[in-house]
């Protein structure tokens, strides 16, 4: 509603000033690529996609790249970016059935998939087929299963979809391809010797995509082999990559390697701001990814190297550095971090980027002084600066706050013109955190 209020004022105000009168109205639905999703009977994951997992209840096929409109947050993408290559996947019927509810099916952007997986399964042609499949399932539930969507004859549904060329014939015989064999896991660990952190911007073959998905989806089976590969490796880059994977899987075998890598990095290196240029932005740089892995160690030992990296940041530093550091520190937060974070906010001129929604200024008889700006193709400095301030202030508040600074900044952001920032700030203040998972 923040977006709608500010847009209405700007449209009416600009028209009035131009002498053309006001506009009649504006659209009531705000289109977006990322929306709330159900928790379904099954949640499709990025690992499912990259391992070509099959299911006994597939109802739609999907094909695209990981068209991310924001920085990634699933474990796989914290290790390696998947931009560029085109992948295909299946979605099972269980992904459209909300847990705990009967008589309802949810499709499209509301279906059950992790955030990064959804960027691949939301393409219009695939969702048209999915909508047809779910509509058919709903009709079958009413006609043959007393309205109970879980009692639909899946094979009968699939046969109809195959007949309509919505599904491939093979789905009639498909079973769940998980768990994968021990040999497949072993081969995946070996393949990861060639892992890179590079951003792949062109469709190309990369065996480490699937290999990484295999080990992330089979942690217990993979960790012993990963430890062995780490111990035997003599190449520093290979050893570091195994250390990163182990850390994100919750294993501290490579802790010394990660700490050393962060300490030896003279600066943050390459990073990215938030931008609508999804092919080239909204991802993490090499040092960002090492910092994130360090955070997964869940040890107070990581405070010192991470605070040193904090001191290297400025207002002009890319947003990915801030997101990486805040994620790492949040996983290791305690009261000792509050004062350094407060000092950073003040010393690096990170405060004061919020822009009050005109509604609040009118309520308090204050003049509206902001000019609303979008995110341009090169990345909007206004939005990115707000993002940075809000991330640090939220982390400060979660660490116990210091001289009420975090609370004051968050309270200002609850009235910000950018509704997502306002909602985020409100949730931190009311619930103590806005993070329900590892991502920002």
Task: Please tell me the pTM assigned to this model.
Answer: 0.87
Question: In the chain, where are the structural domains located?
Answer: 1-31, 46-172, 182-234, 286-431
Task: Report the alpha-carbon distance of residue 111 to residue 122 in Å, rounded.
Answer: 10
Do residues 54 and 129 touch, judged by C-beta distance below 8 A?
no
Which range, 1-10, 192-201, 394-403, has the best average confidence (pLDDT)? 394-403
User: What is residue 85's predicted lDDT score, i.e. its pLDDT?
Assistant: 82
Phi, psi of 369 (to 5 degrees): -115, -5
Nearest to 342 by CA among 288, 407, 425: 407
Task: Report the alpha-carbon distance of residue 266 to residue 259 in Å, rounded.
Answer: 13
Measured N-to-C along each axis, helices 381-398 and 319-330 cross at an angle, to the nearest 10 degrees, of 10
pLDDT tens for 136-148 read: 999 999 999 999 9
Question: Which SS3 state, helix, strand or coil, does residue 131 take?
Answer: helix
pLDDT tens for 55-99 read: 999 999 999 988 766 778 889 889 988 777 889 999 999 999 999
Picking from 71-75, 367-371, 377-381, which range would have the lowest pLDDT averaged per residue? 367-371
User: What is residue 440's predicted lDDT score, i.e. its pLDDT?
Assistant: 39
User: What is residue 369's predicted lDDT score, i.e. its pLDDT?
Assistant: 47
206 versus 132: the higher-pLDDT residue is: 132
Would the pLDDT of 413 be above 80?
yes
Q: What is the DSSP letter of 333?
A: -
Would the pLDDT of 377 be above 80?
no
pLDDT tens for 146-158 read: 999 999 999 999 9
pLDDT tens for 101-144 read: 999 999 999 999 999 999 999 999 999 999 999 999 999 999 99
Task: Report the alpha-carbon distance of residue 46 to residue 52 in Å, rounded.
Answer: 10
User: What is residue 438's predicted lDDT score, i.e. its pLDDT?
Assistant: 38
């Amino acid at each position: 509603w923040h977006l709608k209020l500010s847009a209405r004022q700007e449209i009416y105000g600009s028209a009035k000033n131009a002498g053309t009168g006001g506009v009649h109205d504006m659209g009531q639905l705000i289109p977006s690529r990322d929306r709330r999703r159900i928790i379904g009977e099954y949640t499709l994951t990025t690992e499912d996609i990259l391992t070509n997992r099959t299911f006994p209840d597939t109802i739609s096929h999907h094909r695209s790249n990981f068209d991310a409109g924001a920085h990634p947050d699933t474990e796989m993408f914290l290790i390696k970016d998947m931009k560029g290559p085109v992948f295909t996947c299946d979605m099972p019927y269980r992904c459209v059935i909300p847990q705990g509810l009967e008589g309802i099916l949810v499709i499209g952007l509301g279906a059950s998939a992790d955030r990064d997986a959804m960027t691949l399964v939301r393409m219009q042609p695939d969702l048209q087929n999915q909508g047809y499949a779910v509509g058919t399932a709903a009709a079958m539930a009413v006609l043959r299963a007393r309205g109970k969507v879980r009692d639909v004859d899946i094979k009968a549904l699939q046969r109809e979809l195959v007949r309509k060329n919505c599904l491939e014939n093979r789905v009639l015989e498909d079973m769940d391809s998980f768990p994968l064999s021990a040999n497949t896991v072993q081969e995946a660990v070996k393949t990861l010797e060639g892992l890179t952190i590079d951003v792949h911007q062109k469709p190309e073959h990369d065996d480490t995509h699937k290999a990484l998905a295999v080990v992330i989806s089979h942690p217990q089976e993979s960790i012993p082999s990963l430890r062995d590969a780490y111990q035997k490796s003599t190449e520093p880059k290979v050893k570091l990559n195994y250390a990163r994977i182990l850390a994100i899987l919750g294993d501290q075998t490579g802790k010394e390697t990660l700490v050393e890598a962060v300490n030896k990095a003279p600066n943050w290196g390459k990073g990215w701001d938030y931008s609508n240029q999804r092919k080239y932005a909204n991802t993490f740089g090499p040092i960002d990814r090492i910092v994130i892995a360090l955070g997964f160690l869940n040890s107070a030992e990581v405070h010192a190297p991470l605070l040193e990296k904090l001191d290297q940041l400025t207002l002009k530093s890319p947003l990915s550095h801030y997101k990486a550091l805040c994620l790492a520190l949040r996983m290791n937060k305690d009261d000792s971090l509050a004062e350094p974070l407060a000092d950073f906010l003040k010393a690096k001129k990170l405060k004061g980027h919020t822009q009050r929604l005109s509604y609040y200024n009118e309520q308090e008889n204050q003049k509206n002084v902001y000019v609303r700006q979008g995110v341009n193709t090169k990345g909007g400095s206004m939005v990115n600066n707000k993002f940075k301030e809000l991330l640090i202030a939220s982390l400060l508040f979660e660490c116990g706050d210091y001289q009420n600074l975090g609370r004051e900044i968050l309270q200002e952001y609850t009235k910000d013109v950018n509704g997502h920032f306002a909602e985020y700030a409100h949730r931190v203040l009311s619930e103590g955190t806005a993070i329900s998972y590892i991502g920002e």
